[in-house]
């Protein structure tokens, strides 16, 4: 593995510019019942097997290799993309099979099981914190908004996939994993260096 200073990391996000792309709603149980806590998939820690899940469409379109679903920005992967994560970063992820509405092919919900306290507040373009006057006392002092996210690579140990502490909408992957995903011809994912 490269030296921390040489290593590159990327936020894997959805590519909204894919023509005719599909969009997903929040995962549900197979019978359409809402999940008790749809945010559990983005906590950056291992979770119990949620059982069979349905990924309903918000807007039909072209099937993609990478899409996020619902309120928690939960990553949904095609089988070939899931296999790259399984082969390259099995210590850092859980993959749960899901049924995407209208699809017969297998898809997987990805849970990053690691969190790293690594946001570089100085190098990031803009960082806003929750304040008492925002009316959410449980969030005071945490990140409310980050633009131009940058991480302190020296704080990353051996993680290949992780969520930054306090900013769980970001899914960070290392450069080697990015290259492997690009070799598969991943469609729907956008890599932004952090």
The reported pLDDT for the residue numbered 5 is 57
For the chain, the average pLDDT equals: 94
Most confident of 2-6, 31-35, 135-139, 190-194: 190-194
pLDDT (average), residues 86-100: 97
The string of pLDDT tens digits covering residues 131-141 is 999 999 998 98
Rama region for 141: left / alpha / beta (φ>0; ψ in -120 to 50; rest): left
- The predicted model gives 81-101 an average pLDDT of 98
The whole-number average pLDDT for the span 110-128 is: 97
Long-range contacts of 27-36 (CB under 8 A, 24+ apart): 27/53, 27/54, 27/55, 27/69, 27/70, 27/74, 27/98, 27/109, 28/53, 28/54, 28/56, 29/53, 29/54, 30/54, 30/99, 32/56
DSSP 3-state of 165: coil
pLDDT higher for 5 or 112? 112
Minimal CA–CA distance to 66: which of 120, 10, 119, 28?
Answer: 10
pLDDT exceeds 60 at position 3:
no
pLDDT digits (tens, 9 = 90+) for 148-181: 999 999 999 999 999 999 998 999 999 999 999 9
């Amino acid at each position: 593995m490269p030296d921390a200073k040489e290593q590159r990391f990327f936020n894997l996000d959805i590519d909204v510019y894919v023509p005719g792309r599909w969009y997903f709603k929040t995962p549900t149980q197979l019978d359409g019942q809402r999940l008790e806590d749809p945010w559990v998939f983005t906590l950056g820690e291992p979770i119990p097997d949620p059982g069979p899940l349905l990924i309903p469409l918000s807007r039909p379109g072209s099937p993609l290799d990478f899409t996020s679903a619902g309120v928690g920005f939960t990553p949904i992967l095609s089988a070939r993309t899931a296999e790259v994560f399984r082969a390259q970063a099995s210590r850092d992820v859980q993959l749960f099979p899901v049924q995407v509405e209208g699809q017969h092919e297998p898809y997987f919900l990805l849970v990053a099981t690691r969190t790293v306290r690594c946001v570089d507040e100085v190098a990031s373009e803009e960082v806003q914190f929750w304040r008492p006057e925002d009316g959410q006392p449980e969030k005071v002092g945490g990140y409310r908004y980050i633009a131009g996210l940058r991480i302190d690579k020296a704080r990353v140990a051996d993680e290949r996939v992780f969520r930054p502490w306090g900013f769980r909408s970001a899914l960070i992957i290392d450069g080697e994993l990015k290259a492997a995903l690009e070799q598969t011809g991943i469609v729907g994912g956008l890599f932004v260096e952090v």
